[in-house]
Every structure is written in C-alpha cells, then in structure tokens.
Amino acid sequence: MKVEQIGKFVICRFDDNEILEADKYWTPERIRDAKPVPLPIDPDSGKIRVEPSEELSATEADIKALPYKCGGKLAYLQPSLFYGSAQFVGTNDVVLTAAHCVFDRDTKCWSNNIKFMRAYKKGGYEKGFSVRALAVLADWVDGKGVDARLDYGFLVTTSESDAGYLNYSLELPEIATSFGYPGNISDGEIMQTVSGGIAPDYPGSRQIRMDGNPMSKGSSGGAWTDSSNNAIGVNATGPKDPTRDAYMNSPRFTEDFDSLYKFVIANK
C-alpha cells in the first residue's frame, strides 16, 4: 500500500497485486469467521441515560429497496478479521463508512484485504467489490482515541455499483433512519434498520445522537438517511453498556465531509 497526505486529507492506495490478493482472501469460511468491529465507546457514556422502555425497535431492512440496496457488509483485516457496514454514496465507485473501519487511530493500522458485499444476507450477497483506495481526514490519522466528529471515511471500488448510490446532504433532519449489520441482532447476518429523532449534542456540535438506537458492534459505518434517502451521518460511537443506555452517535456532516468527498473524486 502507498499512503500519502495531501493537505488535510490522507489517501491509502493498493496496487494491483494487493487488490488481487484481497479478491482471493475472502472465502466463505473467512466471511463467516469475521467478527463485528467493536463500536467505539462514547467518551460521554454514562452521562446520558436512556431507559430501556425508550429503546427503538430495529427491523430487517429490505435490501432490494432504497436506501438499503446501496448498503452492505464491509469485511477487512485490521489486523484481525472484522466486519462493519458501508454503502455507495455520491457516485457509483465510492463507498462511505466509519473512519475506524478504515484506519485504527490507536494502532495506526490501515485496513487491508477489503471486500464490500452489497446487500449481504446470511452469507450471500448481490455483488462483491474490491477496494483500491481509502481516504480519511488527516486529523483522524494524527489523533488518538474516540472522536465521533471525525469518524467517516471513503473507499474507492475497482468496479461500479450495480444498484446505484445514495446522495448526501449537510442539512440535519429531525428524524433519520440508521441501518447496518449489528452483531447484537441476528448475529450480524441480516441488515437492520431503525428510525428515530436526532439532534446535536449541543448547539453547534459536530456530533449528533439518536436516542434509543439499539444497534451495537458491527453496525459501524452504516448510514443515517433522511426522508429523501440522502446520507446525513454514519453509525460511529455508542454507550459503554448498551443494556443500560441505548443510543448511537454520528459525525455531523459539515464542509469537511464535503471537502473529503471532493478530494476522493479528484484523486481516485
């Protein structure tokens, strides 16, 4: 892999041999054995209390319909076998996920041997995609620990989506839909969806929260969408004890998000 920082962005590119190796790597057995990537713990966990009675209900997503058909399971090494969630956004060869599914801030390890499985369900999927590049904010690479405000990244696939893509919006709706592959529901084998009210942690905050969202590890990187199926966030951080508190945090998409996407388009 070749890593390059260009201004406030960092891009990691894979050569043809690395891409070919990733294609061969993900056997059905390895896909089965991949573990849900842990959902980073919100530093403010414990300060927010959501009673179990307020927990929202997750249901199986219709992976043949928007916005879900643009999403899927993301399998990768970092360095263990993990999976998260992701979706095509903005164009037919760019995938949005959580930054911690791309680059581990604590180990300083880039993900590799990556495979995106669109519309994954119980070991099967509509189409698999290899990845030739990753990109995140330089502030994510340079920092440490958990920071939902910066927790988004993009992947560039070697082939184009066969199901289209979601657009994105910097506008914040009152209600959003969150989806992904949480390991705490159906063992991460079926895409789940949940809708609820969202709001910034405080006026001007770059982090937004969905109280009652029950999804946990493995859902990282799954999109939050508005009523027009625009991506407005991703599953990023959650509580220390999901049995006590139920909520999910997402970065708020700002001009930095828009700039990173445009950087990817210009450098892919």
Q: Retrieve residue 31's tokens.
A: 């896909």
Q: What is the mean pLDDT of residues 94-121?
A: 97
Helices (H) and strands (E) in the chain, counts: 4, 18
DSSP 240: S
Q: Is the pLDDT of residue 63 over 60?
A: yes
Q: 44's torsion region: left (phi>0), alpha (psi -120 to 50) or beta?
A: alpha
Q: Give the separation between CA 13 and CA 225, rounded to whole angstroms.
A: 28
Q: Look at residue 53 in the predicted model and tell me its pLDDT.
A: 43
Q: Is the pLDDT of residue 47 over 80?
A: no
pLDDT digits (tens, 9 = 90+) for 14-27: 999 999 999 999 99
CA distance 218 to 83: 6
Q: How far is CA 131 from CA 55, 94, 156, 160, 177, in A?
A: 36, 9, 6, 11, 26
**Phi then psi for 158, rounded to 5 degrees?**
-85, -15
Distances (CA, A) of 84 to 37, 235, 254: 6, 10, 23
pLDDT number for residue 52: 47
Average pLDDT score over residue span 80-84: 97
Token pair in block for residue 258: 């828009």
Mean pLDDT of 88-92: 98
In percent, the amount of the chain with pLDDT more than 90 equals 84
Identify the pLDDT of residue 48.
52
* 118-175 confidence digits (pLDDT tens): 999 999 999 999 999 999 999 999 998 888 899 999 999 999 999 999 999 999 999 9
Across all residues in the chain, what is the average pLDDT?
94
Confidence category of residue 241, pLDDT binned at 50, 70, 90? confident
Map out the domains of the chain with their CATH numbers.
2-37+72-165+254-267 (2.40.10.10)
What does the block give as tokens for 198? Answer: 């969202």
Residue 46 has pLDDT above 90, yes or no: no
Q: Is the pLDDT of residue 245 over 80?
A: no
The pLDDT of residue 144: 85
- Whether 252 shows a pLDDT value over 70: the answer reads yes
Residues in Cβ contact with 28 at an 8 Å cutoff, skipping those fewer than 6 apart: 123
- Segment 167-226, tens digit of pLDDT: 999 999 999 999 999 999 999 999 999 999 998 866 777 899 998 999 999 999 999 999
- Strand 109-110 to strand 192-200: parallel, antiparallel, or no bridges (unpaired)? unpaired
Q: Is it the case that residue 80 has pLDDT exceeding 70?
A: yes
Query: Could you count the other beta carbons within 10 Å of the beta carbon of residue 168?
Result: 20
What are the two backbone dihedrals, phi and then psi, of residue 55, each rounded to the nearest 5 degrees? -65, 135
Q: Which residues of 207-231 are buried (b: 16+ CB within 10 A; e: fewer)?
A: bbbbbbbbbbbbbbbbbbbbeebbb
* Residue the block writes with tokens 């909520």: 247
Give which of 101, 168, 178, 172 is closest to 140, Cα–Cα: 101
- For residue 254, how far is the Cα from the chain centroid? 17
Coil vs helix vs strand at 210: strand
